[in-house]
Chain A
């Protein structure tokens, strides 16, 4: 058994949420740089250049990339050889509280959906725990803003639905999001499972690093191409770069079901993966 003190977890989470809010990852930055070259609209090009400049300022001055420093969504993978000394949920939330205060990050979480009273420390996070074999402990952290979250959709298709119908639904979701969700987008798409599984997969897909299944890769590329025909463009001002990437995760499902969930992320896709 590997023992881990919950205090170590808090410290690591505190640092990680600050880093994620201040620094865009290199892969995303290079996608934005490619987009500058590709984009035909001069207003759109200008927006993309400003986003790169914005990321540089945030990184240098240790200030948030976007004022919407989000609700924190964390996927935890915990090995069966790990024993946490203390409460894992409490440790994660304590880390967020410290990180959001130290990093001058906005507190955007309310206690109750109706009375809207702010918790004033950006907790609680939305936490998912997965058990794995071994002695590793991994936290995959997503800083999720509401502008893009509010534009996400789910649809329960008939099992005989075609890929074309699924694409139409995704395009419709992007059209509805339009300029609202801060394009160019990263698209997380969950296909299969059940109602809630598809939604969860779509969120997880935003963090997906690569696609090994070639038929899925082809489908992702096809969807990306269709999204970029909508003309929405950077910041919705018109252009050919409406999405930067499409990421699909799939899961077995019932013979009568074909759930499809579309979770949109803005261009400021802030995430970080840490292992303890």
Chain B
């Protein structure tokens, strides 16, 4: 299904774990060090360099772009490392996250409570994914280089819904369906 940003409540209500999505629009990149910095600003009641409300964060640190390219290979990094910083961002209105791998119980609960969504992009498909990014600019923490916060414009960015607002988790569903050793 095609989906465009911003992700309104109406659009998020329709998303179910296991749905294949082609996302178009704008998203931010942020990974470990950027999350740490954002979290410290929030703790000290300081203003953030990006507006979290209704935002989408993609956990990635792209490789450098070859000349003439928008961005270098750009696949997801493992999401659990961001779990400790995510609850406060969800409470501030973060609408979606893109990464790979399961989230903490707390994050999954807050996704449901705050009507947000967690998508997976295919880990290791960085060359393919970079083709769907049509614009990229660093908007905060340029010194972090690959870990800087970028604003990306994407077209038909391929994703799968992992955690929806109904409390479903595709990682659990998928594993339970195909596992042979019960228990």
- Tell me whether A66 and B124 are in contact in the complex, defined as CB-CB below 8 angstroms, given that A104-B66, A237-B170 are known contacts: yes
Closest to A147 in B: B78
What is the minimal beta-carbon distance from A191 to any residue of chain B, in angstroms? 23
* Set A182, A229, A233, A267: member contacting B180, Cβ < 8 A: A229
Closest to A60 in B: B127
Residues 100-151 of B at the A interface (beta carbon under 8 Å): 100-102, 120, 122-128, 130-131, 145-146
Q: Mark B67-82, 1 if CB is under 8 A from A, else 0.
A: 0000011110110100
* Set B61, B120, B130, B131: member contacting A179, Cβ < 8 A: B120
Residues on A with beta carbons closer than 8 Å to the beta carbon of B130: 63
Size range of the interface on B?
35 or more
Question: B127 contacts A54, CB within 8 Å?
Answer: yes
What is the minimal beta-carbon distance from B97 to any residue of chain A, in angstroms? 14
A106 contacts the other chain (Cβ, under 8 Å)? yes
- Tell me whether A58 and B73 are in contact in the complex, defined as CB-CB below 8 angstroms, given that A147-B123, A179-B120 are known contacts: yes
Question: B73 contacts A230, CB within 8 Å?
Answer: no
- Tell me whether A235 and B122 are in contact in the complex, defined as CB-CB below 8 angstroms, given that A41-B174, A106-B61, A230-B175 are known contacts: yes
* Set A55, A67, A150, A268: member contacting B72, Cβ < 8 A: A67
A141 contacts the other chain (Cβ, under 8 Å)? no
A51 contacts the other chain (Cβ, under 8 Å)? yes
- In whole angstroms, what is the CA distance A240 to B179 when docked? 8
B18 contacts the other chain (Cβ, under 8 Å)? yes
Question: A51 contacts B175, CB within 8 Å?
Answer: no
Residues 143-170 of B at the A interface (beta carbon under 8 Å): 145-146, 158, 160, 170
Q: Mark B55-70, 1 if CB is under 8 A from A, else 0.
A: 0000011111110000
* Set B73, B126, B171: member contacting A178, Cβ < 8 A: B171
Question: B178 contacts A65, CB within 8 Å?
Answer: no
Residues 153-170 of A at the B interface (beta carbon under 8 Å): none
B13 contacts the other chain (Cβ, under 8 Å)? no
Question: B124 contacts A64, CB within 8 Å?
Answer: no
With a 10 A CB-CB cut-off, give which of A51, A226, A235 has the most chain B CB atoms.
A235
- Tell me whether A57 and B128 are in contact in the complex, defined as CB-CB below 8 angstroms, given that A63-B66, A69-B63, A233-B178 are known contacts: yes
- Tell me whether A231 and B176 are in contact in the complex, defined as CB-CB below 8 angstroms, given that A147-B78, A179-B101 are known contacts: yes
Residues on B with beta carbons closer than 8 Å to the beta carbon of A230: 175, 179, 181
Residues on A with beta carbons closer than 8 Å to the beta carbon of B173: 238
- Tell me whether A233 and B101 are in contact in the complex, defined as CB-CB below 8 angstroms, given that A57-B127, A64-B126 are known contacts: no
- In whole angstroms, what is the CA distance A229 to B77 when docked? 26
Question: A180 contacts B126, CB within 8 Å?
Answer: no
Q: List 15 A-B contacts (CB under 8 A).
A: A43-B20, A58-B73, A63-B72, A66-B75, A67-B60, A67-B61, A107-B145, A147-B100, A179-B102, A180-B100, A182-B123, A230-B181, A236-B101, A236-B174, A238-B177
Q: What residues make up the interface of B, taking CB atoms closer than 8 Å to A?
A: 18, 20, 33, 60-66, 72-75, 77-78, 80, 100-102, 120, 122-128, 130-131, 145-146, 158, 160, 170-171, 173-181
* New contact pairs (17) apart from A54-B126, A65-B73, A266-B124, CB-CB < 8 Å: A43-B20, A50-B128, A63-B73, A65-B124, A67-B63, A67-B146, A104-B65, A105-B63, A147-B78, A179-B102, A179-B120, A232-B175, A235-B122, A235-B160, A237-B174, A238-B177, A268-B124
